[in-house]
Amino acid sequence: MPAPRRPKAIPDRAPNPFKPGAPPPPRIRIQDPTPAVDGGAWPAKRCVGDVVRVEADIFRDGHEVLKAVVRHRRVGARKWSEAPLERFDRHLGGDRWAGEFTVEGQGRHEFTIQAWVDFWGSWRDELTRKAAFGQDDLSGELSEGEVLLRGAAEQANGPAKQLIDRALKTLSEPKAPQEAKVDAALGEELDAAVEACQSRLEGTTHAPNLEIEVDRVLARFGSWYELFPRSFGGFTGVAKQIPTLKELGFDVLYLPPIHPIGEKNRKGRNNALLATKKDPGSPWAIGHHAHGGHDAIHPDLGTLADFDAMVAAAKAHDIEIALDFAIQCSADHPWLTEHPEWFHHRPDGTLKYAENPPKKYQDIYNVNWNCDDWQGLWSALLDILKYWVGRGVTVFRVDNPHTKPLGFWEWAIAEVRKDDPDVIFLAEAFTRRKIMQALAKLGFNQSYTYFTWKNTAWELREYVAELAHGPEADYFRPNFFANTPDILTDYLQHGGPAGFAIRAVLAATLSPTYGIYSGFEHFEGTAREPNSEEYLNSEKYESWKRDLDGPLLPFIARLNHARRAHPCLQRLDNVSFLGTESDALLAYAKRTGDDCIIVVANVDPHHPQEGTVIVPFESGLPPSFTVEDLLSDPTHPAVYDWRLGRNFVRLDPAHQVAHVFVVRAA
Q: Answer yes or no whether residue 433 interacts with a second copy by CB under 8 A.
A: yes
Q: Which amino acid, 235?
A: F
- Chain Cα centroid distance, residue 504: 21
Site residues (CB under 8 A) for a second copy, limited to 11-40: 11-18, 20, 22, 24-27, 29, 31-32, 38-39
Site residues (CB under 8 A) for a second copy, limited to 299-338: 299-300, 302-304
- The nearer residue to a second copy, 158 or 357, going by C-beta atoms, is 357
Q: Answer yes or no whether residue 525 interacts with a second copy by CB under 8 A.
A: no
CA 457 vs CA 7, 500, 563, 581, 597: distances in Å: 75, 16, 22, 11, 18
Site residues (CB under 8 A) for a second copy, limited to 180-239: 234
- Minimum Å gap between C-beta 471 and a second copy is 11
Q: Answer yes or no whether residue 5 interacts with a second copy by CB under 8 A.
A: yes
Question: Is the omega angle on the peptide bond into residue 497 within 30 degrees of 0, that is, cis?
Answer: no
Contact criterion met (CB below 8 Å) for 110 and 128: no
Site string for a second copy, 238-277 (x = CB under 8 A): ----------------------x-----------------
Q: Answer yes or no whether residue 165 interacts with a second copy by CB under 8 A.
A: no
What is the C-alpha separation between 160 and 195, in angstroms, rounded? 10
The count of other CB atoms within 10 Å of the CB of residue 15 is 6
Judged by CB under 8 A, which of 266, 298, 590, 659 binds a second copy?
A: 298
Q: Answer yes or no whether residue 422 interacts with a second copy by CB under 8 A.
A: no
- The nearer residue to a second copy, 355 or 583, going by C-beta atoms, is 355
- Minimum Å gap between C-beta 651 and a second copy is 33
- The nearer residue to a second copy, 308 or 490, going by C-beta atoms, is 308
Judged by CB under 8 A, which of 184, 297, 321, 516 binds a second copy?
A: 297
Judged by CB under 8 A, which of 348, 594, 618, 633 binds a second copy?
A: 348
Judged by CB under 8 A, which of 91, 278, 346, 655 binds a second copy?
A: 346
What is the C-alpha separation between 576 and 339, in angstroms, rounded? 53
For the chain, counts of helices (H) and of strands (E): 14, 29
What is the C-alpha separation between 572 and 464, in angstroms, rounded? 9
Site residues (CB under 8 A) for a second copy, limited to 80-119: 93-95
Which of these segments, 237-245, 356-364, 620-628, 644-652, binds a second copy (CB under 8 A)? 356-364
Q: Answer yes or no whether residue 544 interacts with a second copy by CB under 8 A.
A: no
* Phi, psi dihedrals of residue 340, rounded to the nearest 5°: -60, -20
Number of chain positions touching a second copy (CB under 8 A): 94
Side-by-side strand order, sheet with 624-629: 575-578, 585-592, 595-602, 658-664, 624-629, 639-643
- The nearer residue to a second copy, 74 or 417, going by C-beta atoms, is 417
Among candidate residues 190, 139, 189, 199, the one with its CA nearest the CA of residue 168: 190
- The nearer residue to a second copy, 384 or 614, going by C-beta atoms, is 384
- Chain Cα centroid distance, residue 349: 46
Which of these segments, 268-276, 292-300, 312-320, 527-535, binds a second copy (CB under 8 A)? 292-300
- Chain Cα centroid distance, residue 232: 33
Long-range contact list for 444-447, CB < 8 A, 24+ apart? Answer: 444/398, 444/401, 444/409, 444/413, 445/45, 445/215, 445/219, 445/477, 446/219, 446/477, 446/478, 446/479, 446/513, 447/476, 447/477, 447/478, 447/479
Judged by CB under 8 A, which of 80, 361, 374, 577 binds a second copy?
A: 374
Which of these segments, 74-82, 324-332, 377-385, 658-666, binds a second copy (CB under 8 A)? 377-385
Among candidate residues 275, 301, 263, 289, the one with its CA nearest the CA of residue 542: 275
**Catalytic residue numbers?**
399, 428
- The nearer residue to a second copy, 406 or 487, going by C-beta atoms, is 406
Site residues (CB under 8 A) for a second copy, limited to 556-595: none
